[in-house]
Amino acid sequence: MTDRQNTLGPLHGVRVLDLGTMIAGPVAATLLSDFGAEVIKVEQPQGGDPIRKIGPFVEGEGLWWNVEGRNKKSITLNLREQEGQELLKRLVQDADVLVENFRPGTMDKWGLGYESLSACNPRLVYLSVSGYGQTGPYSRNAAFDRSALAFAGLLNMTGFPDRPPVRPGVAMADYQSALFGAFAVMLALYQRDVQGGTGQHADVSLYESVFRFTDIMTTAYDKLGLKRDRSGNMHFAAAPGDHFKTADGRYVAITISNDSLFRRLCTAMGTPETAEHPDFCSHDARWRNIVKVNQWLADWIATKNTDDLVQIMTDNGLPVAPILGVEDIVNNEHYMARDSIVTVKNERIGDLKMPAALPRLVGTPAPPIEAAPLLGAHNSDVYQEGLGLSAAELADLKARGVI
């Protein structure tokens, strides 16, 4: 018995069929698997999930796959073949959740849409993640993370005004959709199991997952005609606020969002009278003079080494964070103290460090993380032990490309 089996998470007993590829759908399933759900990753026989083939690699294994394929079982199944579709319907009968992120219409074309599979199992929670959602004129348009960031308005306000829009350094739309996807599954399971409901179809789109996090962009335009354009690192809730360069050539992120913090900042800088200056005496005044107030702070920060600056700010209860690179993160005392990074044992390519499961639950913590599986590693377990197929039937299905 593995360490994971000895520590049952709060989702122990929930069975998930993960039909997704790449990030948004599969990571929603990963978030569930982190807390004990049994996630069966259903992959095409030839090559499996494309994320397996995206580097960097260690001894031929993709590291991205090893992070997002963790805690899962892998089976191969050709959903384009009728026999494969019939096998999936048998698997669905004992599943709680199905996750897919194909282009809308694809699952219906295979006879595996929500209506068809809910007939096999009325208690099934069926999560569909797509670029533009299951309805609407753009629903069947192709989309990736960058497409959603653009369509949701985020790229239009990210970067500097004299340069092209800038994408975030990670796949934000995919990961935010994964989070909404896992949340949708939990809502549907609660409605089903606690409120006496049935299964249902959850529709999560990449663009809406980003759009939900654009705070007051739409409301401010609706009521005041205000347009959010690219403004570099400035934000209307931070005055002063920017990424400031220190004397030792590093950068720190500072946000001062109210008058009390600004008075504290002025005291820490040894100029308490600045808090009464007409240009700086209120947040609104400081925002109107944001370039001036940011330059005032930048000049002071440029005289301080990073460690000294952080100490001064921290001692005065002011928010500051050095902008860390990964080499800083893996050696940071706070990351270490909270076990924010875990080490996952992988017998094939050695131990792997990766982000820990979140959120933290004190009463029912996440079980230890298990390594991502090789393609089809659990075919025997799922098809023979789970569905009762014989070894000969399994060999025949494999020879004909069904699994």
Per the CB < 8 A criterion, the answer to whether 21 and 385 are in contact is no
125-130 and 38-43 as β-strands: parallel, antiparallel, unpaired?
unpaired
As a whole number of angstroms, the distance between CA 280 and CA 278 comes to 6
- Catalytic residue flag (residue 49): no
Cβ contacts of 150-157, under 8 Å, gap ≥ 24: 151/207, 152/207, 152/208, 152/210, 152/211, 152/214, 153/210, 153/211, 153/214, 153/217, 153/228, 154/210, 154/213, 154/214, 156/228, 156/229, 156/230, 157/217, 157/228, 157/229, 157/230, 157/231
Residue 71 has phi, psi (to 5 degrees) of 65, 15
Q: Which two tokens stand for residue 22?
A: 């790449």
As a whole number of angstroms, the distance between CA 131 and CA 210 comes to 11
Peptide bond into 359 cis (omega under 30): yes
Q: Which two tokens stand for residue 278?
A: 């007409």
Nearest of 276, 285, 307 to residue 240 by alpha carbon: 285
Beta-bridge partners for 126: 98, 201
Catalytic residue among 18, 34, 49, 174: 174
22 Cβ contact list (under 8 Å, min separation 6): 49, 50, 51, 101, 174
Q: Which two tokens stand for residue 200?
A: 């249902």
Per the CB < 8 A criterion, the answer to whether 246 and 252 are in contact is yes
Q: In what order do the strands lie in the sheet with 251-255?
A: 241-245, 251-255, 320-322
Sign of CA dihedral 375, 352, 129, 146: negative
Beta-bridge partners for 255: 241
As a whole number of angstroms, the distance between CA 137 and CA 372 comes to 38
Q: Which two tokens stand for residue 270?
A: 């040894």
Residue with tokens 């800088």: 269
Which residues are identified as catalytic? 174
